[in-house]
Structure 1
């Protein structure tokens, strides 16, 4: 029998974009799917637009995030997994577009193997999928997937993989609901640490939309904090098993996070980076920790302190 694929889409205030995403799913050459749209309690007409679409394709269903679950796309993704009936899971985003053959090609690859998931390449586009800017990443294939994903030598986002549902459930692979950015990197790093046998499809089967309201492909002060937090979680979870190169990569990331947050005047967050990841790092000397303190004091008091920050480098 043809396996059912559950496409799970968290959505918040996407009334002008969600229908184009749903159209791309309805146009799939693989027809045995369900699409669970989990609304994060939108304040615009998103839900009304989706309900109108249900009369066009009854494979699409809409649910509201329960009030006892935290706000955010990750809670919606996890809730969608709870509701799903599919053998396979494809999390997707509410502003992106599927290539018509995405599901078919990935399911064909998975059905002819024992691999737990399959990833594909992605395009970035602006305004219209005819206006492709380029690939989202150069590489999705590696001989050392965990190492290269952790250091971002290979990259894919939430939309790319299709997973066997039993693989996710049996290993308790869920999105971290504390993270508001960097959650895909954190989750896929956890997965690749133990399971590096995935199928790469080099053909771009996802179109990632670039626009001013995009939350996953831009950077701001709040996201920088969550990017740090995602990496700190991976460091704490796996530090006893990480290579020296990976540990050094993460420690350099922590230092750069401290500097960037301080320059963005995110003083509490930069202090928390120092307290969580830097103060206990024995590779820094007492003199360097003195510069950490001086840089924080200088930015708080005078809104500048680069002469102290610039003295903080890993040897």
Structure 2
């Protein structure tokens, strides 16, 4: 008997997205490769998600609908973790309930697996779009190498869940941190990246469209971001920066520090001044000289509303 192609499990957390998730599921049903299963994990929707999912489950038995168990924490992280446990695929793709796949995505990924053998991560490019404009001039994750950690350090790789395919083997016992409310995909992806014997194959072509709207993480970001979200991202980026500072080359470490300190820039732009001064003042690890410069720039920004550009430039100048 001919050997079956690997099975891909698509895991989609959702919450009150019945107006959008249908388009996402249509893009999955349109895949030219049919070796997939899809698990939609509902985080407690109060709209018509359940009725819509009943329709899609009736169309194709590979689409399965679950509600997050009550004994698990609320949020997309717990939904993704539950999806890992109930899925059966050899490979896992975490997708969002408002994004779209190109029809050839899974076929392209399966082709790489068949040609390359054991692959831990496959990345594809993505573009952002809004409901008014389906095309974006900027593409992400399309100039990558097989050194995925180096690509990440220099900002060439965006660790967002829809553009990455993970082998179940490399995921192992790694799970999404259910305490994080922001940067959870960055935290999860980085934990995978630093595992030993990592084999990454980049597709280097756009195969996913990521929707930007008022309810998305990217949409209206500065007006909606909470202090809790900023602290969540600060923790994740601090842990990553400290790891890379110890383990990678000097240039890669410097780049990681840059990403970490720019979280403080977000605090200034969102006018979370108390959060900015408190967290930056207690920072005791690397770049003390930079810390004091940024504290001064932050003070000028609060008093005059100016200096944000200087903040970004000062970080880069100090590091390079």
Cα distance change on mapping 1:150 and 1:43 into 2, 3 Å = farther
Aligned to 2:210: 208
- Residue from 245, 251, 262 that aligns with 1:245: 251
- Cα distance in 1 for partners of 2:114, 2:216 equals 34
- Cα distance in 1 for partners of 2:103, 2:266 equals 41
TM-score (norm 2): 0.82
Aligned to 2:157: 154
Cα distance change on mapping 1:65 and 1:293 into 2, 3 Å = farther
1:127 paired to 2:128: no
- Cα distance in 1 for partners of 2:175, 2:257 equals 25
- Cα distance in 2 for partners of 1:258, 1:187 equals 22
By percentage of residues, which structure has more helix? 2
Q: Residues 135-185 of structure 1, C-alpha deviation per residue, up to 9 Å, x if partnerless?
A: 43163412642122133123352112222212211xx33223233222223
Cα distance change on mapping 1:275 and 1:122 into 2, 3 Å = same
Aligned residues: 305
TM-superposed deviation, 1:271? 4.0
- Cα distance in 2 for partners of 1:144, 1:4 equals 25
Aligned to 1:31: 34
Aligned to 1:110: 113
What do you get for the CA RMSD once the two structures are aligned? Answer: 3.0
- Cα distance in 1 for partners of 2:169, 2:24 equals 26
TM-score (norm 1): 0.83
- Cα distance in 1 for partners of 2:30, 2:181 equals 30
- Cα distance in 1 for partners of 2:155, 2:220 equals 16
In structure 2, list runs of 5 or more residues that go unmatched: none
Aligned to 1:284: 289
Aligned to 2:100: 97
Aligned to 1:181: 182
Cα distance change on mapping 1:247 and 1:203 into 2, 3 Å = closer
- Cα distance in 2 for partners of 1:25, 1:311 equals 43
Instruction: State the secondary structure of the residue aligned to 2:247.
Output: coil
- Cα distance in 1 for partners of 2:11, 2:267 equals 33
In structure 1, list runs of 5 or more residues that go unmatched: none
Q: Residues 17-54 of structure 1, C-alpha deviation per residue, up to 9 Å, x if partnerless?
A: 11111111112222222110011111222222112221
Alignment of 1:1-315 (within 5 A): 1-112=4-115, 113-127=117-131, 131-137=134-140, 139-142=142-145, 144-169=147-172, 172-194=173-195, 195-216=197-218, 219-220=221-222, 221-222=225-226, 223-274=229-280, 278-281=283-286, 283-284=288-289, 289=292, 292=295, 304=303, 313=314, 315=318
